[in-house]
Amino acid sequence: MRIIAPSDGFYSVNKTLLFALLTAVFASLFCAKDLWIPASRISDLHVRAVLLSLTDLISHHAGKTTLDCAVPLVRSAYLKTAGLENHPSWDSRYFNRRQPAESLPSSSAASIETNASSSFSPDVLSPPARQGELSSPETVLQSPAEQSSSGSLPISNAENPPASPVERSKSFVHSSQNPLSVFMFGDSQVFSLGSGLSRLAGKDSPVDVEFLAIHSSGIIRGDYYNWKSKLADTLSSSPRDAVIMMLGMNDWQNFWNDEGRVMVKGTEEWNEAYRKKCRDLIDVALLYGSRLYWIEMPLVKSQAYAQNLAAVDRVQAEVASEYSPDLVTRVSLREFLGKNEIPYTDSVDFKGKIIRIMSEDGSHFTVEGGQLAMSPLFKRLSADFAFSELPVAHLPE
């Protein structure tokens, strides 16, 4: 056996490790602005805090040398050339927005977050009334000028646009020429549910469905995807008649609240912090949409996951009960089966044909399953709004 020495043109183990270490150091300098992102995905909050502090240190030093500008510039140039700069899956305005509480798990985080202007704050926009509260259209639809005079309008910039008055359709009677505008948003479940609802409506329908699905998003992790800002920007520029929300499947996790305190899932503190996040998002949706339809958690194959989703669903139901049912309506994903108390099933018999309604992961609907699951909501939309021509549901054949 011939032993290869370093002099034969090969590097020793120590040199290889040193080269790898130097490569990692230089790469971290060029990618310093985004180093916090993989660190923020760590489930252990204490380990996450340590690594976030380390990435902040690297980012601080890289910023002094401007080395951290190279990768973002190359990325922006590539997206612009490829025509993807406005694609929702590639935008950097709502994805991976660092929250101060993430990096400062202490009481000081609250004061810093108060002054941050990188996220939209719905609290200043006079949200619609919940049950037991009084509100007038003049309050809900207050113009930016009126808000500014009262000192309640947030400072606006490129990432915190000012609120604009809500504009409604000229006619409240909908038809194929004046369709009911529906905006559905949420996590990856919306890919199948939104597609299913679009199929139900069909082409040239009196119901116009637009949906936006973001993988792994939720109500809790605004640092991963900021739904409050996205929803405010989307609906302020183009108000919808109805808004459909499907979020919560990724929310059963510990998180830091606005004061930098750890909220442990399953505790009342977690429940109350989660309620507040839900209210914030609902108030933004109601500010720009006449009604909100809030989809309940699905029945999934994994019993452990099903229990977690049930816990999330209970808190969401409590929040929904705070609002008038004319504003917020909970939508069951099991209603199309005829009853709620049923075991999990992958397939159903629909008009003598076996249709697979759940994907292989046991958590997400198929498009045909989404089509069936959304059929009760489609009927509800037809009943809740005025139509000169009755919408026809196109069910799976």
Give the per-residue pLDDT at 17. Answer: 78
Residue 190 CA to residue 214 CA, distance in Å, equals: 8
Q: Which of 92, 115, 138 is the last residue of a domain?
A: 115
Instruction: Answer whether residue 127 is part of any domain.
Output: no
Instruction: Band the pLDDT of 316: cuts 50, 70, 90.
Output: very high
Instruction: Answer whether residue 46 is part of any domain.
Output: yes
> What tens digit of pLDDT does each residue of 142-157 get?
333 333 333 333 333 4
Instruction: Band the pLDDT of 174: cuts 50, 70, 90.
Output: very high
Instruction: Band the pLDDT of 318: cuts 50, 70, 90.
Output: very high
Write the CA distances from 100 to 23, 55, 193, 258, 337, integer angstroms.
30, 14, 34, 8, 44
Instruction: Answer whether residue 168 is part of any domain.
Output: no
Residue numbers of the domain that contains 109:
6-115
3-state secondary structure of 287: helix
Site of tokens 């020495």? 5
Torsions phi, psi for 31 (to 5 deg): -110, 20
191, 300: one domain: yes
Residue 21 class from Cβ within 10 Å (0-12 exposed, 13-18 middle, 19+ buried)?
exposed
Give the per-residue pLDDT at 74. Answer: 66
246, 100: one domain: no
Give the per-residue pLDDT at 300. Answer: 95
DSSP 298: P
Task: Say which CATH number the domain at 221 has.
Answer: 3.40.50.1110
Give the per-residue pLDDT at 253. Answer: 94
Instruction: Answer whether residue 189 is part of any domain.
Output: yes
Q: Residue 70 pLDDT > 70, yes or no?
A: no
Q: Report the domain count for the chain.
A: 2
Instruction: Answer whether residue 99 is part of any domain.
Output: yes
Q: Based on C-alpha coordinates, what's the Rg of the chain? A: 24
> What tens digit of pLDDT does each residue of 123-139 get?
334 444 455 443 333 33
Number of neighbouring beta carbons within 10 Å of residue 337: 15
Site of tokens 């808004």? 243
Give the per-residue pLDDT at 102. Answer: 43
109, 223: one domain: no
105, 203: one domain: no
249, 109: one domain: no
Give the per-residue pLDDT at 177. Answer: 94
More confident residue, 189 or 76: 189
> What tens digit of pLDDT does each residue of 222-263 get?
888 899 999 999 999 999 999 999 999 999 999 888 788 889
Residue 113 CA to residue 258 CA, distance in Å, equals: 7
Give the per-residue pLDDT at 139. Answer: 32
Global confidence as pTM = 0.67
Q: Report the Cα 82 to chain-centroid distance in Å.
A: 25
Residues near 146 by Cβ (< 8 Å), separated by ≥ 6?
A: none
Instruction: Answer whether residue 146 is part of any domain.
Output: no
